[in-house]
Structure 1
C-alpha cells in the first residue's frame, strides 16, 4: 500500500512540474507530436490504400477462380512468350465446365473492351464494356440501383439489352429516366434495363471504375466484338466449404486437360487464376511502404526523444535541491526515479495525442481520391510508441536524479 501511495505521489509531482512550466512543456513535446503525426499518418494512409485495393479485389468475387489464357503473375520477369500461343477460352469450353463441374456453385463467362462509345441523342461518353453470362451477378459484386438484371432468355438469345454504370447514365441521360431508353453502343441500338449503383471515385481503381462500365449478354458481345481475337475468362465460384478452393481448382484442371486432350507429359495450356496471387503481390508492397514510412517518421521521433531528454536533464538540474530535501526526509530512489520517468512519459504521451488528433482532423476532411480511416489499431500504435519514446528519453535523467547524494543535492543552488 505504501509503495502504491508513493507511486501516486511521484505521479502528482510529475504533473505539477509539467503544469508549472507550460511553455517549456509545449516546446519540448513538439518533436514527438511531429514524429507521431508522421508515423500514424503513414500507417493510416497505407492501411486506407490497402483496404481500398482489397475491397476492389473482393468485388471480383470471394472464392472465385478465373480460367483463361494468361496467368495473373506480377513482376518484371513475366514470361509472356510461353503463353502467347496458348488457345483462347471458347464458349463451348465454358458450357462444358458449367455442365460438368461438381464443386462449382456458379459458373460464368466474361470478356471486355476498354473503351467503347455510348450515345443517346447528342450525348455520348467513352467507357468500358463487359459481356457476361447469366450467373455473373452471383459471382461478382453487382448492385443495381434502378431496373433489373438480365433474365436467362436474354443472355442465351443474344438480346440487345444493357445494364449501364451510374456515370454513363448521368452523362447520356442528364434528366434521368434511363430505364427503357434506347442507347447506341458502337452504333448498335440497345435497350437499357438497369443502372448500377454509384460507387464514386477511389484513388486506385483496379479494372476501371464500375460507374464507367456497362454490361451486355456475353453472346451479344461475342457477335459484335469477338470476331477478331476473343479472349474471355471463365469465372467459377466455389462452395463455402471449399475454403481454399483446392477441390475446385483440381477439378477444373482435370476437366480442362481432358477437354483439350493434353497428355500427362504436356504442360497446361490454360491458367487457373485466383485473387490470392494479387493479394500476395500487394502484401509485399504494403509491407515495404509501412517500413519506409516508419523509418522516415522514426527520424522525427528521434529528434523529439532527444528534445525530451534535454528538457529532463534541465529539470533535474533545476530541482536538485528539492531532490536532496526529499531524500533527506526518507524518499526512496524509486520515488525520485518515477517522478522524472512519469514526467518524460507524460510529455511524450501528450505529444503523441496531439499528433494523433491532427491525423484524425485529416481523416474527417472529405476526400475524393482516397478515403482515410484512422483505426483503433493505429491509435494504439501511436500511443505505445509515444510511451516507449518517453521511457527511453527519460530513463537516464531519472536515474541521474535517483542517484544524487542528498547532502550534495541540498547544498546545490
Structure 2
C-alpha cells in the first residue's frame, strides 16, 4: 500500500485542550523569563532597592519562585512529549519513517540558534530540538520503561548537584569563565552588573556580546543538568500521549484526580521549601544543594498537578474559561519568539530602555498585558490564516513546500 503523504495537522484534528494548556504554559514562561528582562536577576542589591516598587520584591520573588519558575517550562516539555506521541501515531498510519520528524527538529534547531545568537541567551528551542532527537530512541520502549526513565532523569540532577557542592566537580565553571571573558572584553563592568549596558546599547552593538552570552547559557544547562530534566518530561508526555489521549478525559478521570491531588499536594510544599532555601542562602553549599534537590522533586510534581487540574476543569465543562488561551497556544512558536521581541523593546536599549527601573512586582502586570495582547492577536490572526507566521515557516520547511496560508472564505467569513 502506498504511504499517504504527510501534511500539517488540520484544525479539526487538533486536541484543543492541548492548545489551551500550551497557551497557559506560554503565559507562565513569559512571567519566569521576565525576571531577567526586567533586570531583577542581573541587579546588585543596591540597584534592586532603587527600583520602583522594590519594597514588594521579597514577596514577589517568593511567589514567582514557588508557583512559576520551572513549572511552565516543564509543562511545555510535557506537551512536546505528547505531541511526539501524536506524530508517531500519524507516521505509523501513513507508513512513513522518522525522516520528516528529524527535518522538523532541524528547522526548530535553526529557530533556536537564531533566537540564541540574535536576541536572547535564555532560548529553550535549541535544547528541545536536540532532546527531541534523543526521544526517538524511546519510540519502541514499553510504557513502564518510559516512566522509570522519566523518574530517573528527574532524580539524576540531585546527584549532579551533590558532586558540584560537596565533590568540587563543576563542569559548568569553565563555560561561565568564557562568558565572563567575553563580556569584560566588550567593556561591561561586572562589578556593577550589565543593566546599564543593556539599557543604553543598540541592537547591532549587542550582537557582538551574544556569542559570549551563549557560554553562560551552556554553563547554565550544564550546571542544572537541564537536558536530563527536559528529556524526563518528554518521556512523561510520550506516556500520556500513548495511554491517556486515546482513552479520553472521561476514562482518565480517576488517574487525573490522583495526579492532581498528589502533584499539587506534594509539589506545593516542596516548591515552597525550594523557594525559601534559595532566598535564605544560596551562597552556602548546603542551602544551594537543598534548593536544587527540592527543585528536582517539587517542580515535576507541581507541573503534572497543574496539568491534571487543568484537564479536570476542562472535563467538568469549564473549557470556555480554560480555553481562553488556546489561540496563543496554537501559535506557540510565534508567540514564544514574540515575547523576546516585545520584552526587548520594553527593557533594552533599542527600545524604551527600562531594564532595572522596575521592581519584581511589575512582572505581574507586564505579563498580564503582554499575554492578553498575544491572545487577542492570535485569535485575530487565526480567523484569517491557518498557521502563525513562524509556524507556517516551520511547516513549509519541514514538508519541503510552501503551505497554503490563508483560510478559505465563505460569504466574507474565513473558514477552515
TM-score normalised according to structure 2 size: 0.21
Normalized per residue, which structure has more helix? 2
Instruction: Choose 1 or 2 for highest CA Rg.
Output: 1
- Which of the two has greater strand per residue? 1
